[in-house]
């Protein structure tokens, strides 16, 4: 079985706490390289992998199969497009773009390049969501006519780039 070699673009908290642990436990994927403006920070994600201080060098590396983008939101689309044009599959944090037209543009690039362009959306697979689906499908609540839900989190910590 071949191993999928990941290149991480960005070395922030999401990369470190979410995807790094998952790939580290995988028997089909490995973190091959990390690209970050801060090489020391990149080494906290992959102390034994390749470290790049610019994204283009990561995209030019023929050993990288796909990239995971965890940059600030405004950079998702331009970086994803560069990666796909370089022939890399892309797993991108939310949002994929800042509007529908941008996302459609990126989809067109992925189709032209023959690569995948996927949003890193976790909530569909969260155990809570799965349990809600089981309850609804069981008929336990009767016929569902409408659902209203909300999701919040405390994003007011000091280093949150989304604010």
Where do the structural domains in the chain lie, given as residue ranges?
Answer: 4-123
Pick from 110-114, 135-139, 144-148: least confident: 144-148
pLDDT at 155: 66
The number of CA neighbours under 13 Å toward the Cβ of 141 is: 10
Structure tokens that stand for 152 in this block: 């919040």
Q: Say whether pLDDT at 163 is over 70.
A: no
**Residue-wise pLDDT tens digits, 9-68:** 999 888 888 888 889 899 999 999 999 999 999 998 888 889 999 999 999 999 999 999
Instruction: Measure the CA–CA gap between 84 and 110, rounded to whole angstroms.
Output: 6
Round the average pLDDT of the chain to a whole number and report it. 90
Flag whether pLDDT at 106 surpasses 80: yes
CATH topology of domain 4-123: Rossmann fold (3.40.50)
Q: Residue 129's pLDDT band (boundaries 50, 70, 90)?
A: confident
**Euclidean distance between CA atoms 24 and 132, whole angstroms:** 29
> Average pLDDT for residues 147-153, to the nearest whole number?
80
């Amino acid at each position: 079985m071949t191993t999928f070699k990941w290149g991480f673009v960005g070395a922030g908290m999401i990369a470190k706490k979410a995807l790094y642990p998952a790939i580290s436990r995988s028997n089909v994927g490995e973190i091959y390289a990390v690209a970050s403006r801060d090489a020391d920070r990149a080494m906290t994600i992959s102390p034994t992998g390749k470290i790049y201080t610019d994204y283009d060098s990561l995209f030019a590396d023929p050993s990288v199969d796909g990239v995971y983008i965890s940059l600030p939101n405004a950079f998702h689309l331009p970086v994803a497009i560069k990666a796909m044009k370089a022939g890399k599959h892309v797993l991108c944090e939310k949002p994929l773009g800042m509007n529908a037209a941008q996302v459609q543009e990126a989809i067109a690039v992925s189709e032209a390049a023959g690569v995948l362009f996927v949003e890193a959306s976790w909530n569909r697979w969260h155990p809570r969501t799965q349990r809600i689906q089981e309850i609804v499908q069981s008929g336990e609540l009767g016929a569902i006519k409408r659902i209203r839900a909300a999701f919040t989190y405390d994003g007011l910590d000091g280093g949150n780039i989304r604010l």
